[in-house]
Structure 1
Amino acid sequence: MADNIDESEVVKAMEMMRRCQGLLIFSGVGQNLLLAGKVASTFSSLSLRAVSADPIAALHGGMGLFRSDDLLILISKSGETPELVRFLDACGQIDYSNTLGIHSSRGSTLAAGCRHSVYVPIESEADHLDLAPTASSVCILGFLQSLATQLASEAGLSASAFRRTHPGGTIGLDPVRIR
């Protein structure tokens, strides 16, 4: 995946994230919603303001979350998930267009409907049927986690600042005190 991703797409996605003045809002359907939550958690733990949003819940009254200074990042392997495409259409109906699609299908509806998209190439899934979202989940998760760490590094996040946002558990402890 890393050897075959279009670097210019990644550069533009990073720029969109850097310019975001509001929230980074990650969304997807099914296992991709779970990935969205994990990725948003990583971004937040690195002091990059992020949340995940359930697109189905948004369609049923939650569209008030979105503001023009937020960046909505939509995750879908196929780029054709009906609920996610409907959600993207609903965003357009409220004049919300600051969207970034993360997908593994060139020419998808999601890619065409987002302001920008990144094609994450996946050769096949790991199961014997080539159906279960295994390899695709790992690749998309790894890709988005790498963006988080790059942005945190660029922002100059220090170890002490990282520890301050993790007051529970051993991560938040001063390394001198845990020896």
Structure 2
Amino acid sequence: MKLQNDPILIAKKVLQQEADAIQGIADAIALTPDFAQCVEAILSLRGRVVVTGIGKSAHIAGKMVATLNSTGTPALFMHAADAIHGDLGMIQPEDFVIAISKSGDTPEIKVLVPLLKRKAVPLAALVSNADSYLAVQADYVLHAPVEREACPHNLAPTTSTTAALALADALAVCLLESREFTRQDFAHLHPGGTLGKQLYLKVGDLSRQNQQPQVHESAPLKDIILEISGKRLGATAVLNEAGELVGIITDGDLRRMLATFEGRLERVRARDILTPSPVSIEVEDFAVEALRRMQERNITQLIVTEAGQFSGFIHLHDLLREGLV
């Protein structure tokens, strides 16, 4: 099928229109104290934030709930249509309700608002129309003004949903920063998946599962080869009499040595071919930092130390297995 219009021009027009709408929100929230007061009210909340909406606004509400929960603000989703069929019971006296609606005048919202008022819980309206029924009835108005949708017929929710989502994100981040929510807090709430592993997985969690190839600095070539091949990590640490780390020998070091060596191989000792001051990492460092060091130096393993002493190895395959690469 031949395109009648240039898709690049259409896409750029849509993105610019939605970007302009978001800039309009940034200007709008500075005109009233409602946004800042809403943040303060939620921070002092003893209950949960219940977010509701219908249609496309319900999808934005669901995403808002997910963002709030993951950043330290307990939240629940309540579909506006289901609220009058029993779900209203999820709202407790100490909760706070945010209702999302572009027009603020949908039939479902008009039925729901009086029921929320009977609950005597604070109500915030995230709306495009600040003069709507919902906005007038709400305690706080989170204004997301939108002149028209990106849809050429001004029908499909596009710019309005983007604007609502952006304002919801702004609220969540304000709450996050006000609570001084840290990376460690985030990690506690995201223990699964790659994101969680980046935030909590330590080098020692992986290195302790590996063998610990090591040879004395006086070890002969045969012992070095057997240690590297037997422990299957592509390298061995080299230690001195005091058990201190003095270097590393990789299988690459062996190949390069054999390609150029002209003497008697039985005389070769570990001290003759080791690489001194090898790149290392502590057991308590994050695994993602091990990946960064490997990528930075184009290597596939790191020596792991604990309080400065040799503890083992972490290999690129360990990080691949955990999905960090």
TM range (shorter): over 0.9
Q: Which amino acid aligns with 2:29?
A: D
1:64 matched to which residue of 2? 89
| Paired residues for 1:73-152 under 5 Å | 73-92=98-117, 94-152=118-176
How far residue 112 of structure 1 moved from its aligned partner, in angstroms, is 1.2
How far residue 35 of structure 1 moved from its aligned partner, in angstroms, is 0.5
Alignment partner for residue 27 of structure 1, among 52, 62, 68?
Answer: 52
Q: Which amino acid aligns with 2:43?
A: R
SS in 2 for 1:89: helix
Gaps of 5+ in 2: 1-23, 200-285, 292-325
How far residue 30 of structure 1 moved from its aligned partner, in angstroms, is 0.5
Pair 1:5-2:5 in alignment: no
1:159 matched to which residue of 2? 183
Whole-angstrom CA distance in 2 between matches of 1:32 and 1:3 = 20
Pair 1:177-2:294 in alignment: no
Identify, as 1 or 2, the structure richer in strand. Answer: 2
Does the 8 Å contact 1:67/1:96 carry over to 2?
no
Computing the radius of gyration from Cα coordinates, the structure with the larger value is 2
Does the 8 Å contact 1:28/1:75 carry over to 2?
yes
Pair 1:40-2:74 in alignment: no
Q: Give % identity.
A: 27
Whole-angstrom CA distance in 1 between matches of 2:110 and 2:42 = 22
Pair 1:55-2:80 in alignment: yes
- Following TM superposition, the consecutive aligned residue runs of length 4 or more in structure 1 with deviations greater than 4 angstroms are none
Does the 8 Å contact 2:130/2:141 carry over to 1?
no
Given the two structures, how large is their TM-score scaled by the length of structure 1?
A: 0.93
How far residue 2 of structure 1 moved from its aligned partner, in angstroms, is 3.2
How far residue 59 of structure 1 moved from its aligned partner, in angstroms, is 0.2
Higher RCO (CA 8 Å, separation ≥ 6 residues): 1
Whole-angstrom CA distance in 1 between matches of 2:25 and 2:101 = 18
Whole-angstrom CA distance in 2 between matches of 1:63 and 1:157 = 30
Gaps of 5+ in 1: none
Does the 8 Å contact 1:13/1:116 carry over to 2?
yes
- Alpha-carbon RMSD across the aligned residues, in angstroms, is 1.4
Whole-angstrom CA distance in 1 between matches of 2:26 and 2:176 = 23
SS in 2 for 1:156: coil
Q: Which amino acid aligns with 2:28?
A: I
- Total equivalences in the alignment: 178
